[in-house]
C-alpha cells in the first residue's frame, strides 16, 4: 500500500517552483490556483527570497499549490486508484483534502489563502515563536513546557517534538532543556497549532461554513489523532480546529504502519516527511517528489502496488 504525504510550512525554498514551470501545462494550472488563492504563486515560487516566502500568507498557498500540481501529475493516466491513502502535515492537510476529493482544488486554494492570512494576523498580535526539541523523555518535556507556559505544537515522531509559545519562555527552555534534549529555534512567524491561533480558528470557521465538502474518495488520515476520516464535513471541521491544536504526525505514521504501508511518496516541496518516515517507519521505501524529474521514480513505486 502506497501512502502519499503532503508537507507543511517550512518545506518551501527559494525558486522551488521553477522546475515545474518549464512545462506549459504546469504553468497554466498554477495560474488557475493562484487566482483562487489571491497570491502570485509563479513570482513567489521562482523569484522571491527566503524571507519573503517565509511569510505565512505566502508560504501556505505556495506549498498547497505545489502539492496539487505534483499529485495531479503523479496520478494521471488512471493511476489514482493505486494510491492507498493520503495525509498531510499541518497546512499539507489541505493538499490532502484536495487529493482525496474532499475539497475541489479552487476551494482548497481559497481556504489556504485565508488560512495563511488569518494565521499571519494572529501571529502578529504578540511575539511568539517555535522550537524543535530533539531527544529526551517526552513526559519530562511536557512537564517542562507546562511550567514555562509553552505548548507542544507538532509531535513528529522519531524523538522530535516542536514546541511553541512566548519568545522569552522558549529562550529559557533552550538555556535549560530537559535531560538529553536539544532545543533548536525555528525560523517561523509565530506559535502555530497553539492557543495563540484561536483568532485564526474563528476566521476559518466562517470560511468553512461556505464550503460544500464531498466524502473522501481515498483513505484520508487526520492530524488530530491519526485516524482515517471518511466524512468530508468532519474533515473540514478538523481543518478548522487544527490551526489551534497539535499536529499528531506520530500517530499518522503509526496508522500507516497499522494499515500495511509498503511505500511513501512525498509531494512537492518534499523532503521533511520522508526524513521522518525513515526514522519511524524503518525499511519502508520513500520517494520525495521535489521536481518533475522525480515523477518517474514515484510513478514506478506507485505502479508496484498494482
Cβ count within 10 A of residue 202: 14
Mean pLDDT of 259-269: 97
Mean pLDDT of 269-287: 94
Asked if residue 157 is part of any domain, the answer here is: yes
Query: What is the per-residue burial (b if ≥16 Cβ within 10 Å, else e) of 116-150?
Result: bbbbbebbeeeebbbbbbebbeeeebbebbeebeb
The catalytic residue among 11, 48, 90, 131 is 90
Mean pLDDT of 64-69: 98
CATH number at residue 177: 3.30.70.250
How sure is the predictor about 301, in pLDDT bands with cuts at 50, 70 and 90?
A: very high
Q: How far apart are CA 101 and CA 75, in angstroms?
A: 13
Q: Examine the domain organization and report whether 37 and 101 are in the same domain.
A: yes
Region of 78 on the Ramachandran plot (φ > 0 left; ψ -120 to 50 alpha; else beta): left
Helix (H, G, I), strand (E, B) or coil at 228: strand
Mean pLDDT of 274-292: 95
Asked if residue 213 is part of any domain, the answer here is: yes
Nearest to 154 by CA among 12, 252, 229, 288: 252
Nearest to 292 by CA among 23, 78, 32: 23
Helix, strand, coil shares, percent, the chain, to 5: 50, 15, 35
What pLDDT does 203 receive? 96
Asked if residue 249 is part of any domain, the answer here is: yes
What pLDDT does 249 receive? 98
The DSSP output letter for 195 is G
**Residue numbers of the domain that contains 149:** 128-185
Mean pLDDT of 247-254: 98
Contact call for residues 209 and 236 (beta carbons, < 8 A): no
pTM: 0.96
What pLDDT does 234 receive? 98
* Domain end call among 141, 158, 185: 185
How sure is the predictor about 289, in pLDDT bands with cuts at 50, 70 and 90?
A: very high
How sure is the predictor about 304, in pLDDT bands with cuts at 50, 70 and 90?
A: confident
Query: β-strand 83-88 against 2-6: which pairing, if any?
Result: parallel
Q: How far apart are CA 212 and CA 301, in angstroms?
A: 33
Q: How far apart are CA 231 and CA 84, in angstroms?
A: 17
What pLDDT does 68 receive? 98
What ranges make up the beta strands (E) of 104-249?
A: 128-135, 151-157, 160-166, 181-185, 247-248
How sure is the predictor about 189, in pLDDT bands with cuts at 50, 70 and 90?
A: confident
Q: Examine the domain organization and report whether 207 and 98 are in the same domain.
A: yes
Mean pLDDT of 29-44: 96
Q: How many structural domains are present in the chain?
A: 2
Mean model confidence pLDDT for the chain: 96
Does the annotation mark 217 as catalytic?
no
Does the annotation mark 11 as catalytic?
no
The DSSP output letter for 288 is E
Mean pLDDT of 245-263: 97
Asked if residue 190 is part of any domain, the answer here is: no
CA-based max dimension of the chain: 54
Mean pLDDT of 106-115: 97
The catalytic residue among 11, 44, 131, 193 is 193
Mean pLDDT of 58-79: 96
What pLDDT does 229 receive? 98
Q: Examine the domain organization and report whether 71 and 48 are in the same domain.
A: yes
Mean pLDDT of 263-285: 95
Amino acid at each position: 500500500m502506497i501512502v502519499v504525504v503532503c508537507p507543511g510550512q517550512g518545506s518551501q525554498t527559494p525558486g522551488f517552483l521553477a522546475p515545474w514551470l518549464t512545462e506549459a501545462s504546469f504553468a497554466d494550472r498554477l495560474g488557475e490556483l493562484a487566482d483562487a488563492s489571491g497570491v502570485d504563486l509563479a513570482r513567489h515560487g521562482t523569484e522571491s527570497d527566503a524571507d519573503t516566502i517565509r511569510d505565512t500568507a505566502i508560504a501556505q498557498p505556495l506549498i498547497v499549490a505545489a502539492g496539487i500540481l505534483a499529485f495531479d501529475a503523479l496520478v494521471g493516466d488512471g493511476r489514482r486508484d493505486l494510491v492507498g491513502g493520503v495525509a498531510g502535515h499541518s497546512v499539507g492537510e489541505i493538499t490532502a483534502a484536495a487529493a482525496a476529493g474532499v475539497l475541489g482544488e479552487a476551494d482548497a486554494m481559497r481556504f489556504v489563502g485565508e488560512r495563511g492570512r488569518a494565521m499571519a494576523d494572529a501571529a502578529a498580535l504578540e511575539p511568539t515563536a517555535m522550537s524543535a526539541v530533539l531527544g529526551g523523555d517526552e513526559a519530562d518535556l511536557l512537564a517542562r513546557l507546562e511550567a514555562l507556559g509553552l505548548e507542544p505544537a507538532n509531535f513528529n515522531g522519531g524523538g522530535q517534538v516542536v514546541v511553541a509559545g512566548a519568545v522569552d519562555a522558549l529562550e529559557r527552555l533552550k538555556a535549560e532543556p530537559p535531560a538529553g534534549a536539544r532545543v533548536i529555534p525555528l525560523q517561523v512567524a509565530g506559535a502555530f497549532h497553539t492557543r495563540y491561533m484561536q483568532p485564526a480558528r474563528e476566521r476559518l470557521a466562517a470560511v468553512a461554513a461556505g464550503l460544500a465538502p464531498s466524502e473522501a474518495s481515498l483513505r484520508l488520515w487526520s492530524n488530530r489523532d491519526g485516524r482515517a476520516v471518511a466524512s468530508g464535513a468532519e474533515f473540514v471541521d478538523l481543518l478548522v480546529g487544527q490551526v489551534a491544536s497539535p499536529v499528531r504526525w506520530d500517530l499518522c505514521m503509526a496508522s500507516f504502519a497499522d494499515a500495511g504501508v509498503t511505500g511513501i511518496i512525498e509531494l512537492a516541496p518534499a523532503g521533511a516527511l520522508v526524513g521522518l518516515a525513515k526514522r519511524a517507519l524503518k525499511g519502508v521505501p520513500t520517494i520525495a517528489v521535489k521536481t518533475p524529474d522525480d515523477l518517474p521514480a514515484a510513478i514506478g513505486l506507485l505502479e508496484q502496488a498494482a
